[in-house]
Amino acid sequence: MRRREFIAGLAGAAAAWPLAARAQQRTIPVIGVLGLGTPDTEGENFAQFQRGLSDIGYVEGRNLAIEYLWAGYHTDLIPTQAAELVRRQVSLIFVNNTAAALAAKAETKTIPIVFSIGADPVQVGLVATLSRPGSNVTGTYNFNIGMASKRLELLHELVPAATSIAYLVNSTNAVVVQAETRELQAAARVLGVRLPILNAGSPSEFEAAFATLAHEQAGALLVSSDVFFSDHSD
């Protein structure tokens, strides 16, 4: 399933869960969206989100309001934005990245939170179990982290002579980095390869990361499943 179709379906599921009940508490329910990127980079995905809501009868501007807060790939802004949505008393918070999901959960135990992320939500502490999330948090994840070792194994099969496979990570998202790194290090030991870590927490750090790649003489490069960033001017 393509990402945009997935988000459209998730929008319907998100609305069906809490909005009907919370709409009774206010004239028009309000969804607060914490987007990692910008309207330009994520606009089409969230247009699908709006269409998914429309399919079950929620139309923005008619019987639903959506308040967007964009981090512009600056993850340090996310906690403040999560607190702002809670202050506005939105009916539901939708997030598309792990950092925002954790920030929203830290800010409220009553406003429903729906996530679409790559990290295992149990492992990062968002939900109790996949079958019974508990509390005010639910959503979906795409099993990327659970597949990290499989990706390393496949890369090793493609480049069997490589004794060192570098791993490029977004160092600003410690939760995802730690979870993937543990899994990959275990897989690397089984495969008998080194796994040097390359950190890139901002666009300016890519040059240094690739200089390290050359210094390590890595035979292949594995890129984290986490979203990185885009170098947009403010």
For the chain, where are the E strands, in sequence order? 30-35, 65-70, 92-95, 113-117, 137-141, 165-169, 197-199, 220-223
CATH topology match: 3-141 vs 145-223: yes
For the sheet containing 220-223, what is the strand order? 197-199, 165-169, 220-223
Q: Say how far apart CA 185 and CA 200 lie, in whole Å.
A: 19
CA atoms within 13 A on the CB side of 90: 27
Q: Which residue from 131, 93, 123 is spatially nearest to 109, judged by alpha carbons?
A: 93
The residue ranking higher by pLDDT, 234 or 127, is: 127
Q: Kind and range of the H or E element at 95? A: strand 92-95
Confidence (pLDDT) at 19: 53
Give the rounded distance of the alpha carbon of 17 from its chain centre: 21
Tell me the pLDDT tens digit for each residue of 69-105: 999 888 889 999 999 999 999 999 999 888 899 999 9
Report strand pairing: 65-70 vs 30-35: parallel
pTM for this predicted structure: 0.62
Query: 3-141: CATH homologous superfamily?
Result: Response regulator (3.40.50.2300)
The answer to whether 79 and 35 have CB atoms below 8 angstroms apart is no
3-class DSSP assignment, residue 143 = coil
Q: Which span out of 10-24, 57-71, 167-181 was modeled with the highest average pLDDT? A: 57-71
CATH, range 145-223: 3.40.50.2300
pLDDT averaged over the chain? Answer: 82
**Domain range list for the chain:** 3-141, 145-223
Q: Kind and range of the H or E element at 46? A: helix 39-55
